[in-house]
Chains A and B, each alone.
Chain A
Amino acid sequence: MKRLMIAAALCALCIGGAAVSAQSSDTTPSPDASDACMQKGGNLGDDGKCMLTIDLKVSVDYPLDLTQKSDLVARTVDDVIKKAKDEIMQSVSGDFTPGSGQYELDITYDTVTHSDTVYTLLLTIYQYQGGAHGSQALLPFTFDLKNNKVLTLDDIFTSTPNALKLIEPIAQAAIKQAIGADMVQEDMLSAGATPTSDNYQYFSLDKDSITFYFQQYQVGPYAIGIQKVTIPFAQLSSVLKPDIAS
């Protein structure tokens, strides 16, 4: 009788265990279901639901004072904001993608003043569209309010090619020092700092110096971020236009 009771108890345990395991297999998503859900761009929850999600956040710190004072500034800023916003909207218009579903666009600004009529508006644009990390770009626009124009290198230097030949070694040395020898990738640095107008198009002017900005991946790996190099006008007096040097 005792043996029978033990056998019965074991059977009950087995049945109970089987029931539990059947229950848990009902609620635990199968790998196949998980794959199928991912193929739809979703994530399979513990409750077995395949959820497709997007969480989009756009935030723009709009330079209202500056845009109200100048149509040129307003047009320039509005254009950048619209392009960045349209780009992130485009990124969520395709298929759903599995993962966090988070998308982010964050635009902030800063200003640097050269004179009463010349200043640089620096727009920092951070975007996250899924993946390991987001991306950041720094877009400076130097406005000459007196002449109602956005300044380019040609407005700053008497000869842009000559100026960039002078600037390149200074920029390379500054970047190497800033990121350290371990992070220097000579081929990226050479390519990104070659004296072309494209490589040096992002700059700001303050009272007595010019700062160049090198975007992510331009002069080194992602980890070094955006690099900036500030050069006093005093070092560039031979190539600066008189109205900037003075």
Chain B
Amino acid sequence: MKPLLPVVLICIFCLSVTSAQAGVSPCMQKGGRMRADGKCLLTIDAQVSVDYPLDLAANDLVAQTIDPFIKSSKDEFMRTVGTNFIPAPGPYKLDITYETTKHSDEVFTLVFTVYEFTGWANGSTNIFTYTFDTTNNKILALDDLFTDKKAALEIIRPMVQSIVKADVGTMNQQDLLDDGTAIDPQNYQAFSLDADSITFYFSPYQVALYEAGVQKATIPLAKLTSVLKPEFAS
């Protein structure tokens, strides 16, 4: 009896694979959907909407930074939705909006919210930030804000963790939170500055479950004076 068992299991496996293939209609195999009138329709319905920060883009550095960002976001979206037909309901969407935060007359952050729906169960929202120093004509990174980036992140990490925990409540998953807030500049690259605080943005899945959405943690600059460069501590 025992030698028969693997044969039976293999047969069951074969049958299940065959029935799974049989479940996909020929039209779906082409990436289409069968309509009630019997037509196999292959469709792509894609909408892109970008709220372009025209006033800010009068500055060359801003324009040279955001134009490639917008173009690459759009091209990547179009590649995703246009490579193959897929039988998922559309329309696929790419929405880019922005807001600004102002640290001083010369330093401000452009915060882009990028929403994409490309046919999976959920759309996704991500935040991209660019902090411009118009006096020195440069985009600020963490190294420009802190005297010692690693020391700064060691102070920042527990603050971020407690803010995220309070925000997501029972949805908190500590391993996800630990990984997403590990002391790695990549984890803290999305930030904005206002007059007296810094806000870090974390994409869905980075520090919490998808349902929790984008997480943000605002920390007063006063709490970071020991690691801030003088021009930001003042």
Contact = CB atoms under 8 A, between A and B. Distances in A.
The 10 closest A-B pairs by CB, nearest first: A89-B82, A58-B44, A54-B48, A60-B42, A52-B50, A50-B54, A64-B40, A50-B52, A62-B40, A56-B46
Contacts of B43: 57-60
Contact of B48 (A52, A61, A86): A52
A81 B54 contact: no
B39 A61 contact: yes
B52 A40 contact: yes
A37 B49 contact: no
Nearest to A101: B48
The main secondary structure of chain A at its interface with chain B is: mixed
A33 B43 CA distance: 36
B106 to A, nearest CB: 23
Name the residue in A55, A56, A78, A93 with the highest tally of chain B Cβ atoms < 10 Å from its Cβ: A56
A11 interface: no
17 contacts: A50-B51, A54-B47, A56-B78, A57-B43, A59-B43, A62-B32, A62-B40, A64-B30, A64-B40, A67-B30, A68-B26, A78-B30, A89-B79, A92-B74, A95-B71, A96-B50, A96-B74
A93 B78 contact: yes
Interface string B33-72: 0000001111111111111111001100000000100110
Contacts of B82: 85-86, 89
Interface string B167-180: 00000000000000
A211 to B, nearest CB: 24
Given A49-B51, A51-B51, A52-B52, A62 B27 contact: yes
A40 B69 CA distance: 13
Given A40-B67, A60-B43, 9 more contacts: A51-B50, A51-B51, A53-B48, A57-B45, A58-B42, A58-B45, A85-B82, A89-B79, A96-B50
B199 to A, nearest CB: 24
Contacts of B52: 37, 40, 42, 49-52
A183 interface: no
A49 B54 CA distance: 8
Contacts of A15: none
A18 interface: no
A20 B31 CA distance: 56
Contact of A51 (B44, B49, B67): B49
A55 B49 CA distance: 9
B40 to A, nearest CB: 4
A62 B30 contact: yes
Contacts of A49: 51-52
A77 to B, nearest CB: 10
Interface residues of B, number: 31
Interface string A84-104: 011001001101100001000
Interface in B77-97: 78-79, 82, 85
A64 B46 CA distance: 24
A93 B78 CA distance: 7
B32 A60 contact: yes
Given A57-B45, A81-B42, A95-B71, A89 B51 contact: no
A49 B95 CA distance: 14
A36 interface: yes
B99 interface: no
Contact of B42 (A52, A62, A86, A92): A62
A55 B82 CA distance: 13
A42 B48 CA distance: 12
A53 B45 contact: no
Interface string A8-40: 000000000000000000000000010011001
Given A59-B43, A62-B32, A81-B42, A53 B54 contact: no
A62 B41 CA distance: 6
A96 B52 CA distance: 11
Contacts of B85: 60, 85
A60 B67 CA distance: 33
Contacts of B46: 54-56
